[in-house]
Structure 1
Amino acid sequence: MSNLELPAGWVRTSLADVGEVVSGATPKTNIAEYWGGDIPWITPDDLSKNPAKRTKVGRRSLTRSGYNSCSTRIVPPESVLFSSRAPIGYVTIASDYLCTNQGFKTIIPGPAACADYLYWYLQYKTPDIIANASGTTFKEISGKKFAETELLLPPLAEQYRIVEALEDHLSRLDAATEAVTSAKRRLNSFSASVLNRTTLGISSTAGFVPGTGNSSHALLQNLSSRRFEYTALPPLPEGWFWRQASDVCTLISSGSTPKAHLMHAGSGDVPFLKVYNITQDGQVDFTNKPTYIDRETHEIHLKRSRVRPGDVITNIVGPPLGKTAVVPNQHPEWNINQAIVVFRSGPDIQPEWLALILQSPTVIEMLKKTAKATAGQFNIALSTCRELPLPIPPRDVQLELVKQSAEILEISDRFNKQAAIISLRAKKFRQAVLRRAFLGKLVPQSPADEPPSILLDRIRAEQEPGDSKAQRATRRRQGETTAKTSLAPSAPTTTVQQELPL
């Protein structure tokens, strides 16, 4: 970008030239008197849950002693917060005095730049900022590198015109995107409802008479489970029965992962499936990072995780759970990793019906309730899969219901694919609009606007002579005292972020 010619009146500068860049910090979390005061304290997690343009408070707040115990800084309204790690790129504008944790670099704009312009510019520059980040466990942009970020600066009056035009374009784009997202949510909810009703025999087109009493539970009466309460299962239509998965499947087994040198990308003897090869629409997609193992590994080291066409595979590590597919006949044999379980249907259950059941919300919810959750990840035990209760109608009914549901699920899948295309196009269009804005092509330039170079020179000339670091630190502390005084004692500490009118 440094080689691009700028419009008349623009200057190429850095964030450090138009404001002060400050970092945040975290007081000790085990000292209770540091927390719950009247000083708002913002973390990137606050923005992940409430990505508003303007932020007033976060989920937590500091007391005066908590604030004084660490190096965080109170910043004034119109400061622009930029998350500098985990992840890089959340942006918001402070709508009141607040401070942040170490996950932010904040720029306090001077007279040459308006906060709204910096807000949108930083969104546009995020890919470049990420490219300048460093770190092994996770990437982080340092305060120094953030301050050195290139800033394409138009006259102040033009900045306001750019913001107005940008927000007009992007608000209409966001409204269109939200309409598609809302339609997708409604269709997915409808599809899930149809899938649930179908697998429980409630479908109005099934033509079945509901069973009486607990006749559908008869085949579970002499079985016990440590994970499922069989007597609480809903009744099924006449002729349907709840069956334990191990009773209707000839094989239920989990996969295994060999050592890295035994797996080969792109080619090999036997295809090795991972969870990402199972799509949300119930297919096996082996074009996605295909991995292979050799014949010896397949037949000796991983012989228990061999699968064949017609087997049903589903993931037992999520979220999301419920990624299920019937293994296709592209290869005579496959193998699976440890996050996948294979169900081989017996004579009483069709593979397609088994796959449909394992995708149903009722079964997924039963599995979730038994799962061990670690750091937001669900892990389902193999023994749980074997004890899983499954609704089993007669085989001819299974085929008819699979056919009926396939039509509805196909419509849902087509729409979801179209929605994904629209979402990708919207992202590209958004970036194109931002690019035009910050290359000076979105709004016209005006010769009446004061060039930012003149404004920056005047600001430097007006600075106090001999402005030492010690003097600036003194003024900063005085400013913070004023800020803390201005914080209302009754300021809410649990309110979520608020979107303020522009």
Structure 2
Amino acid sequence: MPFEIPKGWVWTTLGDIGTWQAGGTPSRSNKSYYGGNIPWLKTGDLNDGLITNIPETITEDAVANSSAKINPAGSVLIAMYGATIGKLGILTFPATTNQACCACIEYFAITQHYLFYFLLSHRNMFIAKGGGGAQPNISKEIIVNTAIPLPPLAEQERIVTKIERWFALIDEIEQDKSDLQSIIKQAKSKILDIAIHGKLVSQDPNDEAASKLLKRINPKAEITCDNGHYTFDVPSGWITTNLGSIFNVVSAKRILKSDWKHSGVPFYRAREIAKLSIYGLVDNELYISEEHYNSLKEKFPVPKASDIMISAIGTIGKCYIVKESDKFYYKDASVLCLCNDYQINTKYIYHIMRSEYMLKQMYDNSKGTTVDTITIEKAKQYILPLPPLAEQQRIVAKIEETFSIFDGIQNSLEA
């Protein structure tokens, strides 16, 4: 006996408590076997619950001339082959199955749902018995010889009731977790919206006005922007300006596929930039040679600390702040680099670029092509609110303090 069981229970096997049968696949070469009125289930149709829909059907001739068998409503099904081993279902109407399914069609001293939950509890055991390889599988013999502790029928029903009560509670918790994740995402977006309207932290009249900051670092900058579609009232000491006034927006020289290497200096395209984190570079499989990188450095801008990389094709608007220790190159116009040659707080720009306000500008101005694309000229015209430098720092500190709390909650939800 695998373990001690309560008084009144007995050890038996799945073969002793039910009648089991596998299915079959009628010949695919005979088209008259398919499209009939008999549902024919494949393991991909199993859903770990009640089966209410089976897309494919076969004919009576198919059943008569193959190993497919009609299983009555209420049969408990289990998958025996491939990645779906242990997947379950309960038929709500008569149906046939392919040979990858085994069905319990009669029950002796056991309730249908107790058997279902027992099989569910043993899924990992069935997977382990299926072994590895390209097509792991178990057999009907393995199933019928599996030991099962059998309580009295009345206790089986009480056990099933308790299981379903707990599962309902778990489902409710999972839904609450999903709702909370959504609320956190909305809250983060709201915080960024409050930040760009100057309402996240208080203004200090002693801060140097943003207009003076901008004139000092870039005398040619546009201090005011007349664009009613994207501008709004900002607090005293703030200005609205365009991205090209505070950043040199550039892209890289095109790297030919023939120059891609398996080692050397990491080389990122838009799809990789979109996966980058504020915390550091991700592993990458594309490189260019050290010699090639050095030659590019002499003629074209390479990412340097505090620059911001933006994915500009496909998944647009994903940002990454370049770190002091980073050394990499990027692919032509699929990635844009905001060269932070002035005295702008990089993290302020990073957070503002993730706001709904900035993302709307990006998407509104990226249409008209097959794939969403941000061009250098369009990026330069993006309007953004710019507070005094000291307030930029206070905004960043408040955003990161608040986001850290939210991230802690999200991490606990995912644990």
TM interval, shorter chain, is: 0.5 to 0.7
Residue in structure 2 matched with residue 407 of structure 1 by the alignment:
401
d(CA) in 1 for partners of 2:84, 2:296: 38
Moved more, 401-410 or 362-371: 362-371
- Report the secondary structure of 2:232's partner residue: coil
Structure with more contact order per residue of length (Cα contacts < 8 Å, sep ≥ 6): 1
Matched-pair contact (CA < 8 Å) for 2:267–2:288: no
1:390 to 373, 382, 387: 382
CA distance in 2, matches of 1:11, 1:178: 38
Q: Distance in 1 between matches of 2:405 and 2:83?
A: 37
Residue 309 of structure 1: which of 292, 305, 309 is its match? 305
Counterpart in the other structure of 1:186: 183
Structure 1 partner of 2:242: 243
Partner of 1:392, secondary structure, is: strand
Q: CA deviation at 1:127?
A: 3.9
Change (3 A) 1:356 1:57: same
Deviations 1:266-285 (A, max 9, x none): xxx86777569734xx4327
Alignment of 1:261-276 (within 5 A): 262-263=262-263
Residue equivalent to 1:357: 352
**Structure 1, unaligned runs of 5 or more:** 208-214, 220-230, 264-268, 422-502
Distance 1:206 1:317, change over 3 A: farther
2:306 partner letter: G
Residues 332 and 366 (structure 1), Cα distance of their counterparts in 2 relative to 1, 3 Å cut: closer
2:411 match: 417
Quote the Cα distance in structure 2 between the aligned partners of 1:394 and 1:79.
67
SS in 2 for 1:328: coil
The residue number in structure 2 matching 1:97 is 94
Please tell me whether the aligned partners of residues 20 and 102 of structure 2 are also in contact (alpha carbons under 8 angstroms): no
Alpha-carbon distance, 1:111 to partner: 1.6
Which segment is superposed worse, 364-373 or 83-92? 364-373
CA RMSD of aligned residues (A): 5.6
Matched with 1:299 is 293
1:20 aligns with 2:18: no
The one-letter code sitting in structure 2 at the alignment partner of 1:154 is P
What letter matches 1:93 in structure 2? I
User: What is residue 10 of structure 1 aligned with on the other side?
Assistant: 11
Structure 1 residue 38: Cα displacement: 7.5
Change in CA separation of 1:419 and 1:285 when aligned onto 2, cut-off 3 Å: farther
Rounded to whole Å, the distance in 2 between the matches of 1:195 and 1:250 is 23
1:236-295 CA distance string (max 9 Å, x none): 3356547366983433459979999724xxxxx86777569734xx43276xx6889697
Note closer, same or farther for the CA distance 1:203–1:40 as it changes in structure 2 (3 Å cut).
farther
Change (3 A) 1:325 1:57: same
Alignment of 1:327 with 2:322, yes or no, is yes
State yes or no: 1:57 paired with 2:61.
no
Superposition deviation, residue 387 in structure 1: 3.0
**Residue 23 of structure 2: SS of its match in structure 1?**
strand
Q: Which residue of 1 aligns with 2:276?
A: 278
Distance 1:21 1:165 in 2: 31
Establish whether residue 107 from structure 1 lines up as the match of residue 106 from structure 2: no
CA distance in 1, matches of 2:118, 2:402: 44
C-alpha distance in 2, partners of 1:128/1:305?
Answer: 57
Stretch moving more, 351-360 or 252-261: 252-261
Are the aligned partners of 1:245 and 1:385 in contact in 2 as well (CA < 8 Å)?
A: no
Q: Distance in 2 between the 1:373 and 1:73 partners?
A: 54
8 A contact 2:252–2:332 mirrored in 1: no
Q: 1:246/1:393 Cα in 2 relative to 1: closer, same or farther (>3 Å)?
A: closer
- Would the aligned equivalents of 1:15 and 1:148 in 2 still touch at CA under 8 Å? no
Question: What do residues 322-342 of structure 1 show as CA deviations (whole Å, max 9, x unaligned)?
Answer: 65442333x252456899845
Q: CA deviation at 1:191?
A: 1.5
Q: Secondary structure at the match of 2:147?
A: strand
Q: 1:19 to 1:306 in 2, by over 3 A?
A: farther
Q: What amino acid is aligned across from residue 386 of structure 2 in structure 1? A: P
Q: Please report how far the alpha carbon of residue 384 of structure 1 lies from its aligned counterpart in structure 2 after TM superposition.
A: 4.7
Matched, 1:116 2:117: no
Task: For 1:92 and 1:74, locate their aligned partners in 2 and report how far apart those are by CA, in whole Å.
Answer: 15
Whether the 8 Å contact between 1:216 and 1:236 is mirrored in structure 2 is no
Match of 2:146 in 1: 151
The separation in 1 between residues aligned to 2:24 and 2:259, in whole angstroms, is 43
Shift of residue 386, structure 1, vs aligned partner? 6.3
Do the aligned partners of 2:18 and 2:105 also contact (CA within 8 Å) in 1? Answer: no
CA contact (8 A) 2:252 2:330 kept: no
Larger Cα Rg: Structure 1 or Structure 2? Answer: 2
TM superposition score normalised by structure 2: 0.62
The 8 Å contact of residues 319 and 350 in structure 2, kept in 1 or not, is answered as yes
SS of corresponding position for 2:107: coil
Q: Report the secondary structure of 1:96's partner residue.
A: coil
In structure 2, give the amino acid aligned to 1:250. V
Normalization by structure 1: what TM-score? 0.53
Shift of 1:416: 1.0
Residue 151 of structure 1 and its aligned partner are, at CA, apart by: 2.9
Structure 1 residue 11, shift from structure 2 partner: 3.6
C-alpha distance 56-13 of structure 1, shift in aligned 2 (>3 A): closer
